[in-house]
């Protein structure tokens, strides 16, 4: 306890006694009440240490070292445990106005909390799914099937990854030289990948099956191998699109073709070019299944430091978005091929996203799915990047080429071409108007030129946005 002789206006000497022990008084702070007696007026001041705040501001003359600039996420012990008690309130106000150290500290603390949460989550969710998996079969030897086979095989050298391919030449190249000579002639595949043209050998003893056969060929293919498929074998569909005659999605095609309505099914989708996956570039996808345990198992099987796998229970939303984005990508390519500009491109893709949302939600999809990886993420990749097969088809159509010439020159299938007509039939079933995607289907059917389609779309009534 310190006692000073009473004087409502402290003298310079009294200020000198206070200032080394506490910050300068704030002019807006109320004066402490005077504790006085009739004879002697005295001011009693109890000196208490200033409470420490994690967002307190250090003196401008000696700012705390920022761990971010040092390339570490660990907190600075000096700044955490020994804050500078001499920081004045005026300096704090100035730092806040100028976006000073307190804001940087807040960002750093938020990031550290995120990292700690991530480590804790990983430690609690370690799984033995990969440890228990001895064999994975990949149906199809195309670019994405090969990329996923290489990804899975690289996760565990003791695991066999069997690729069922129809081309004997590709089969020999994979087994003898560890290259897919047609799609990835420059990328060596892991040695635990074994290719075969025999369905029985490929499927025997498999723990998981990745289906990478194009949608329009899936039904006859699966019917032909159904006798070799274990009824409990979990399928992971990598194919995107709708079956032209039946309007079925892959989650419906697989069990129907195998004759087993209880076949475990999941679908994998999201913005993912095969070549970038092979090159181990950062990628994120989503696996959807009505069976949460299956979705979690697939997530643990496929996730790696360069591939994030989110889970979802919205199978319809993931599949419809994956199918319709291919048709929209053709429209985006047409705009690019006709040199209609960035304004037109943005308007067209935005309209296309709305049309996908209208149909998908009518079919029971969740709107949040359509703004996630399998929706907006995949749409952005497919519509705006030149590696997209569907966008390439549209670009060449917009440049004046004939569809037959375009398709005959491609060594891969652009699913949007065959899906376009199925999309419109599905829209009619659910009573949804889809101007952009309908125009694409008419162009593909050679009933409308790209130029005429643009004029008709721009002449549609001016309506309220929904």
Predicted confidence (pLDDT) at residue 56 exceeds the cutoff of 80:
no
Strand order of the β-sheet with 208-211 is 193-196, 160-164, 135-139, 208-211, 235-237, 265-269, 283-288, 307-312
For the chain, what are the domain ranges? 128-313, 317-459
Same fold, 128-313 and 317-459: no
Predicted confidence (pLDDT) at residue 84 exceeds the cutoff of 60:
no
Q: Which of 98, 86, 198 is nearest to 139 (CA)?
A: 198
Question: Residue 285: CA atoms inside 13 Å, Cβ hemisphere, count?
Answer: 29
CA distance 437 to 435: 6
Topology, domain 128-313: Rossmann fold (3.40.50)
CA distance 392 to 332: 9
Q: Which of 86, 83, 84, 82 is nearest to 24 (CA)?
A: 86
CA distance 127 to 148: 20
Q: Which of 207, 353, 218, 212 is nearest to 274 (CA)?
A: 212
| pLDDT tens per residue, range 288-321 | 999 999 999 999 999 999 999 999 999 999 999 9
Residue with tokens 């019917």: 223
| pLDDT tens per residue, range 186-243 | 999 999 999 999 999 999 999 999 999 999 999 999 999 999 999 999 999 999 999 9
The pairing of strands 160-164 and 135-139 is parallel
CATH number for the segment(s) 317-459 = 1.10.1040.10
What's the longest Cα–Cα distance across the chain? 111
CA distance 334 to 345: 10
Cβ atoms of 393 and 414 closer than 8 Å: yes
Predicted confidence (pLDDT) at residue 31 exceeds the cutoff of 60:
no
Which one is predicted more confidently, 450 or 104? 450
121: pLDDT confidence band, cut at 50, 70 and 90? confident
pTM of the predicted protein model: 0.77
| pLDDT tens per residue, range 328-343 | 999 999 999 999 999 9
| pLDDT tens per residue, range 145-173 | 999 999 999 999 999 999 999 999 999 99
Residues 6+ apart with CB under 8 A from 269: 240, 285, 286, 288, 318, 319, 321, 322, 373, 374, 378
Q: Which of 274, 337, 283, 325 is nearest to 436 (CA)?
A: 325
Cα 390–327–221 angle (5° rounding)?
Answer: 75
Residues annotated as catalytic are 325
Cβ atoms of 198 and 187 closer than 8 Å: no
């Amino acid at each position: 306890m310190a006692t000073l002789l009473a004087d409502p206006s402290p003298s310079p000497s009294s200020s000198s006694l206070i200032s080394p022990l506490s910050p300068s008084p704030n002019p807006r702070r109320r004066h402490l009440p005077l504790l006085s007696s009739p004879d002697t007026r005295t001011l009693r001041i109890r000196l208490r240490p200033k409470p420490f705040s994690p967002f307190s501001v250090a003196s401008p003359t000696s700012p705390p070292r920022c761990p971010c600039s040092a390339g570490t996420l660990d907190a600075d012990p000096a700044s955490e445990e020994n804050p500078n008690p001499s920081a004045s309130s005026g300096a704090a106000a100035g730092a806040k106005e100028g976006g000073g150290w307190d804001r940087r500290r807040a960002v750093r603390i938020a990031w550290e909390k995120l990292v700690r949460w991530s480590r804790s989550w990983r430690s609690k969710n370690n799984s033995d799914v990969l440890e228990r998996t001895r064999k994975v079969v990949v149906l199809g030897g195309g670019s994405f099937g090969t990329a996923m086979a290489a990804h899975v095989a690289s996760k565990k050298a003791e695991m066999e990854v069997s690729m069922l391919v129809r081309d004997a030449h590709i089969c020999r190249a994979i087994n003898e030289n560890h290259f897919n000579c047609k799609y990835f002639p420059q990328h060596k595949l892991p040695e635990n990948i074994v290719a075969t043209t025999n369905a029985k050998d490929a499927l025997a003893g498999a723990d998981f099956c990745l289906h990478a056969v194009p949608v329009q060929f899936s039904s006859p293919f699966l019917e032909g191998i159904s006798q070799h498929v274990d009824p409990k074998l979990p399928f992971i569909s990598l194919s995107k699109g709708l079956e032209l005659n039946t309007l079925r999605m892959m989650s419906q095609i697989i069990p129907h073709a195998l004759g087993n309505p209880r076949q475990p099914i999941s679908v994998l989708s999201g913005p993912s070019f095969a070549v970038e996956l092979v090159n181990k570039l950062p990628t994120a996808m989503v696996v959807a299944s009505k069976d949460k345990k299956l979705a979690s198992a697939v997530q643990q099987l496929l996730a790696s430091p360069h591939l994030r796998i989110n889970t979802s229970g919205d199978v319809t939303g993931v599949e419809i978005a994956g199918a319709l984005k291919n048709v929209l990508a053709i429209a985006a390519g047409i705009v690019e091929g006709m040199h209609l500009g960035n304004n037109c491109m943005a308007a067209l893709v935005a309209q296309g996203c709305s049309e996908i949302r209208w149909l998908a939600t009518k079919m029971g999809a969740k709107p949040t799915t359509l703004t996630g990886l399998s929706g907006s993420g995949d749409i952005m990749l497919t519509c705006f990047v030149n590696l997209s097969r569907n966008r390439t088809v549209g670009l060449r159509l917009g440049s004046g080429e004939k569809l037959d010439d375009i398709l005959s020159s491609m060594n891969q299938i652009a699913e949007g071409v065959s899906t376009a007509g199925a999309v419109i039939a599905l829209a009619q079933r659910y009573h949804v108007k889809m101007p952009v995607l309908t125009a694409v289907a008419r162009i593909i059917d050679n009933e409308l030129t790209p130029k005429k389609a643009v004029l008709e779309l721009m002449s549609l009534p001016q309506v309220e946005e929904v």
